[in-house]
Amino acid sequence: MTEIDWSAHVKGLLKAELKRRNISYRDLSEKLYEIGISETELNIKNKISRGGFTAVFFVQCLTAIGCNSLRLSDG
């Protein structure tokens, strides 16, 4: 896979977890704030749409939404 493919894969993982939990970007912003991370809804939208966010941001988001495990593939 190329770098672009990896970015798209990680972006898809995060978006799927948000959708699975019915969490909007606004909700995510509020949940991140609750754990001490200040991100606006617009910043979150831009980061996720680009797909080029850091591993730290990824883990912060998963922690904020209560995701304790993550399936990386369907296989």
CA terminus-to-terminus distance, the chain: 17
3-state SS, 14-45, equals HHHHHHHCCCCHHHHHHHHHHCCCCCCHHHHH
Domain boundaries, the chain: 3-64
Q: pTM of this prediction?
A: 0.90
pLDDT tens track for 25-54: 999 999 999 999 999 999 999 999 988 899
**53 phi, psi to nearest 5 deg:** -85, 165
pLDDT band (50, 70, 90) for residue 75: low
Tokens of 51: 């797909």
